[in-house]
């Protein structure tokens, strides 16, 4: 009786599509980093006083009033073609954000800015993850900081530690949609 060669097992769902070769993967990930940044890197840079980029919030006025990254420029995506020239220096790279990963408003804003000649990156996670990581926001009422979500920020991180002083810590409130608005305005 001839020896039977064992059949190779079917690949797992993870490897049903083979991973890219290392040089292809390196090119892809390098390109991806040219288009995206994350909230932790933006926060760290701003906290260190970085002035080599500007942050743009592309959401509606109602959303902006609920909370935005301190120091950000408010420029809703729909107004970029008319107002970017007045508000932004084309020589300064832009980091744009909207509500969060479920919203493509920042992508639309980044596209509009790129078409106007700006170098632009999208902040992954948007204001939702900015807030979930425990970073301070500016609101209509002043500055606020919520406790960090232990599922998205390291426990005990000094940047996301409980807040003391004049900052308020809201108990609840929406992270992903403006109160009373029909849409996010992105």
Residue 9's contacts (CB-CB under 8 Å, 6 or more residues apart) are: none
Does some domain include residue 154?
Answer: yes
Does some domain include residue 135?
Answer: yes
CATH classification of the domain holding 149:
3.40.250.10
Residue 48: what pLDDT? Answer: 97
- List the domain range (segments joined by +) for residue 136: 33-160
Model pTM score: 0.81
Does some domain include residue 126?
Answer: yes
Q: How many domains does the chain have?
A: 1
pLDDT in tens, 37-71: 999 999 999 999 999 999 999 999 999 999 999 99
Of residues 186 and 151, the one with the higher pLDDT is 151
Of the pLDDT bands very low, low, confident and very high (cuts 50, 70, 90), residue 105 is very high
Does some domain include residue 101?
Answer: yes
Question: Strand order of the sheet with strand 36-38?
Answer: 36-38, 120-124, 94-97, 54-57, 73-74
Does some domain include residue 136?
Answer: yes
Does some domain include residue 127?
Answer: yes
Q: How far apart are CA 35 and CA 107, in angstroms?
A: 10
Long-range interactions of 155-162: CB distance < 8 A, separation 24+: 159/43, 159/47, 159/133, 159/134, 159/135, 160/133, 160/134, 160/135, 161/134
Average pLDDT, the chain: 86
Strand spans (E) along the chain? 36-38, 54-57, 73-74, 94-97, 120-124, 137-139, 142-144
Does some domain include residue 175?
Answer: no
Does some domain include residue 48?
Answer: yes
């Amino acid at each position: 009786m001839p020896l039977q060669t064992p059949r190779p097992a079917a690949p797992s769902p993870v490897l049903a599509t083979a991973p890219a070769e290392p040089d292809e993967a390196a090119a892809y990930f390098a390109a991806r980093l040219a288009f995206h940044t994350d909230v932790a890197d933006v926060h760290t840079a701003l906290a260190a006083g970085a002035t080599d980029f500007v942050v743009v919030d592309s959401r509606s006025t109602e959303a902006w009033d609920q909370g935005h990254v301190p120091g950000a420029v408010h420029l809703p995506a729909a107004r970029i073609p008319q107002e970017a020239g007045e508000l932004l220096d084309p020589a300064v790279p832009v980091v744009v954000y909207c509500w969060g990963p479920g919203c493509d408003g920042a992508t639309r804003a980044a596209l509009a800015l790129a078409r106007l000649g700006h170098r632009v990156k999208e902040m992954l996670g948007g204001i939702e993850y900015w807030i979930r990581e425990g970073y301070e926001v500016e609101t209509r009422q002043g500055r606020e900081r919520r406790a960090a979500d232990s599922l998205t920020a390291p426990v005990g991180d000094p940047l996301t530690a409980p807040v003391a002083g004049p900052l308020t810590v809201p108990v609840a409130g929406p992270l992903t949609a403006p109160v009373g608005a029909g849409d996010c305005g992105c």
